[in-house]
């Protein structure tokens, strides 16, 4: 076992020739140092991540549950993306104080707005614990026993690591369980909004421009971390003080030029670089098309109603934002994988792999069947995959169905159960009453009613009959008008028609009435679908676990095969990583060239008063007319807005700092180009680019647009 661990570690760490991609573990960045410096980096790996001293990693936070943020002052001020804090801004907004629409700027700390439920997490340390996690396991051990031993080892290690501290510990597998890392974290829960631009700056271009280049979005918001008097995490309190970080970033107004070195530091969420050709085929041909269609229908319906009133826009902005991000990403991902012929390239690699395996008897013994095993299990997984995407993008996507399943159905089942006591029933009734007001408060019936008809019509018109419950066969072949009529009955002529009607039904209803509700057309439509999904869930998970087990062997084999000519990095898993590249334009198609930066002029060129995504703020137009950009203009006198570079990023890198060769903040990462969204699966350096907000545009908006000099004065700005 020790020899195996040592050999794997060598594969992970050897400083091979320069790679075009990579999300590198900062603890091992010394193996990348020479390449980084050759590209222009003027610091060292120790400056980025240090075990014994303060370093850049101490200025990086996991923002919320899936973004990155960075510290930019000695008083806990941090930057992230506008879209990362979008739901918090929506929650703080009302029709009277619409911070989403109008923006918000605290003139002093007393005006900063608490964000309940928002937290940020610092990485205290990371450590390779592979040997200790795998201690006691053997090569011939059954997988159940092996997993049990690993879980026991992990539980002991994490408990011991944070004993007597306020830290938390988590251990995550890398390379499908060939390696394990432990992360010690410190989480702060008193986070307050300091400043955010209005939506027509922070989300300029909206869904239309999402994932696109050229981009002109001022995608940033500012927050502050608060701590107790000892500088430790604490619940919100007026007695808390601004957190004093171990490290924060200086901000450079020098800007970027083509081929400049850039470094992105953050928490990328998920990549799947080792997928086989069959896995990619299922994504491209089976999974993405269904998800793209169903989400596209929802978005079209939402936007139609959102454009009709400010109230509806405020109510559904967060929902539409969460739906659209994946929808457009998957369209770009499919296009990119097809254009790059990723499946064919995977097939060629697998043929080469098979030849390598077959050339050696020892390798045949270890790896001879692994690719065929993966193909066999993907064949078993395919119906689960199709059924899952059809279900998850249809039934839970209808708000009334999701609400009824989560909140109403438990009371229906209790009403049908003779063993339910009156006390138990009343307790569940009170629980439902509390949820009813919250649901209808955030719900607009015309939107959901139309979504119901559209999604169910597509579901029953296109899904293979073998993949649905027999109870739902009667809906196959129904026309769209028939689903419209069903929606009329359910949404207008049942107890769900409005808040007053349903809340009265819940409050006055009895067991008999709720039991009858469970036999209604509405409940008989979705109950079989949910039952089938959860009935299949265990089998789906079992097959997926088998697939991951074979990937563990396959990835180890790939590393052995390419040990001398390829540098490996683990798939992203929402742990801290470093990626570096250069500022570069690109050519997505023949005859089409993109330069590396955009300016405020592009905002004005995109202006369309009739399209919400392209409405330009009047004050921004005034500032543009004056052409007074002060120290934030580039050498040509333009006001830079965004730039692109070849850093390998993904979801979770939103809000990540983009640093120059001196480790100074020059941008805030917020997106990828649409033509390169397939980089989670297949990276192509010719077309994969990350999109970043130019820090000078952020400073311009805070200073000139918001007149928030109190915020500017808090930063350390390098001219």
Q: How far apart are CA 405 and CA 439, in angstroms?
A: 13
Does 613 qualify as catalytic in the annotation?
no
Instruction: Given the residues 55, 58, 83, 209, select the one marked as catalytic.
Output: 83
Q: How far apart are CA 559 and CA 278, in angstroms?
A: 20
Does 83 qualify as catalytic in the annotation?
yes
Instruction: Given the residues 219, 448, 571, 671, select the one marked as catalytic.
Output: 219
Q: How far apart are CA 675 and CA 213, in angstroms?
A: 9
Cβ neighbours for 534, distance < 8 A, ≥ 6 positions apart: none
Instruction: Given the residues 221, 453, 654, 679, select the one marked as catalytic.
Output: 654
100 by Cβ neighbours in 10 Å (0-12 / 13-18 / 19+) ranks as: buried
| Cβ proximity of 670 and 211 under 8 Å | no
Pairing assessment for the beta strands 241-242 and 657-659 based on DSSP bridges: unpaired
Q: How far apart are CA 703 and CA 639, in angstroms?
A: 13
Q: How far apart are CA 172 and CA 181, in angstroms?
A: 6
Pairing assessment for the beta strands 657-659 and 665-672 based on DSSP bridges: antiparallel
CB crowding 230-262: b at 16 or more within 10 Å, else e: eeebbeeeeebbbbebebbbebbbbbbeeebbb
Does 646 qualify as catalytic in the annotation?
no
**DSSP characters for 376-436?**
HHHHHHHHHHHHHHHHHTTTTTSHHHHHIIIIIHHHHHHHH-TT--HHHHHHHHHHHHHHH
* Residue 59: count of CB within 10 angstroms of its CB: 22
Cβ neighbours for 389, distance < 8 A, ≥ 6 positions apart: 286, 287, 290, 291
| Cβ proximity of 378 and 282 under 8 Å | yes
Residues annotated catalytic, as ranges: 83, 219, 654
């Amino acid at each position: 076992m020790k020899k195996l661990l040592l050999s794997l570690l060598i594969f992970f760490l050897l400083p091979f020739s320069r790679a075009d991609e990579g999300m590198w573990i900062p603890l091992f960045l010394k193996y990348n140092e020479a390449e980084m410096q050759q590209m222009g980096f003027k610091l060292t790996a120790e400056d980025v991540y240090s075990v014994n001293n303060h370093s850049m990693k101490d200025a990086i936070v996991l923002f919320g549950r899936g973004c990155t943020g960075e510290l930019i002052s000695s008083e806990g001020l941090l930057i992230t993306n506008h879209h990362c804090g979008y739901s918090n801004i929506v929650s703080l907004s009302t029709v009277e104080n619409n911070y989403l629409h109008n923006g918000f700027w605290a003139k002093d700390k007393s005006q900063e707005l608490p964000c309940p439920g928002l937290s940020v997490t610092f990485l205290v340390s990371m450590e390779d614990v592979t040997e200790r996690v795998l201690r006691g396991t053997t090569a011939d051990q059954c997988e159940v026993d092996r997993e049990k031993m690993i879980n026991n080892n992990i539980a002991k290690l994490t408990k011991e690591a944070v004993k007597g501290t306020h830290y938390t510990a988590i251990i995550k597998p890398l390379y499908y369980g060939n390696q394990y890392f432990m992360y010690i974290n410190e989480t702060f829960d008193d986070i307050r909004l300091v400043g955010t631009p209005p939506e027509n700056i922070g989300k300029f271009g909206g869904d239309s421009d999402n994932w696109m280049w050229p981009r002109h979005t001022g995608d940033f918001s500012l927050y502050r971390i608060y701590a107790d008097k000892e500088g430790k995490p604490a619940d919100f309190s007026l007695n808390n003080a601004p957190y004093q970080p171990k490290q924060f970033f200086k901000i450079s107004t020098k800007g970027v030029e083509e081929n400049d070195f850039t470094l992105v530091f953050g928490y990328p969420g998920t990549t799947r670089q080792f997928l086989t050709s069959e896995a990619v085929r299922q994504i491209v041909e089976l999974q993405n098309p269904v998800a793209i269609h169903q989400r596209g229908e929802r978005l079209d319906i939402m936007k139609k109603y959102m454009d009709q009133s400010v109230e509806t826009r405020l109510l559904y902005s967060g929902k539409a934002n969460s739906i659209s991000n994946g929808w457009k990403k998957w369209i770009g991902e499919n296009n990119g994988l097809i254009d790059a012929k990723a499946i064919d390239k995977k097939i060629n690699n697998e043929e080469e792999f098979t030849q390598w395996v077959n050339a050696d008897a020892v390798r045949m013994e270890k790896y001879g069947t692994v690719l065929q095993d993966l193909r066999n299990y993907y064949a078993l997984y395919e119906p689960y995959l199709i059924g899952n995407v059809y279900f998850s993008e249809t039934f839970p996507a209808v708000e009334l169905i999701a609400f009824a399943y989560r909140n109403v159905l438990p009371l229906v089942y209790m009403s049908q159960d003779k063993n339910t006591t009156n006390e138990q029933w009343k307790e569940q009734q009170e629980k439902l009453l509390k949820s009813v007001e919250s649901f209808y408060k955030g719900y607009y019936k015309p939107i959901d009613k139309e979504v119901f008809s559209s999604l169910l019509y597509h579901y029953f018109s296109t899904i293979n009959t073998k993949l649905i419950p027999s109870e739902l066969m009667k809906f196959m072949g129904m026309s769209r008008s028939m689903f419209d009529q069903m929606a009329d009955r359910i949404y207008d002529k049942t107890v769900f028609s409005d808040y007053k009607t349903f809340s009265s039904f819940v409050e006055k209803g009895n067991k008999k009435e709720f039991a009858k509700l469970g036999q209604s057309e509405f409940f008989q439509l979705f109950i079989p679908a949910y039952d089938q999904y959860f009935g299949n869930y265990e089998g789906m998970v079992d097959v997926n676990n088998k697939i991951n087990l074979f990937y563990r062997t396959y990835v180890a084999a790939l590393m052995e095969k390419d040990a001398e000519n390829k540098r490996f990095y683990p798939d992203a898993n929402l742990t801290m990583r470093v990626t570096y590249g250069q500022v570069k334009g690109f050519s997505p198609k023949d005859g089409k060239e993109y330069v590396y930066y955009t300016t405020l002029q592009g905002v004005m060129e995109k202006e369309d008063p009739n399209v919400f995504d392209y409405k330009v703020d009047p004050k921004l137009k005034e500032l543009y007319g004056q052409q007074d950009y002060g120290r934030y203009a580039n050498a040509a006198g333009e006001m830079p807005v965004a730039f692109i570079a070849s850093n390998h990023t993904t979801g979770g890198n939103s809000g990540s700092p983009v640093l120059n060769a001196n480790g100074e903040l020059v941008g805030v990462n917020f997106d990828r180009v649409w033509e390169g969204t397939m980089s989670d699966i297949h990276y192509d350096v010719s077309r994969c680019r990350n999109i970043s907000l130019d820090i000078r545009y952020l400073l311009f908006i805070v200073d000139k647009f918001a007149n928030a000099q109190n915020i500017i004065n808090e930063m350390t700005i390098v001219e």
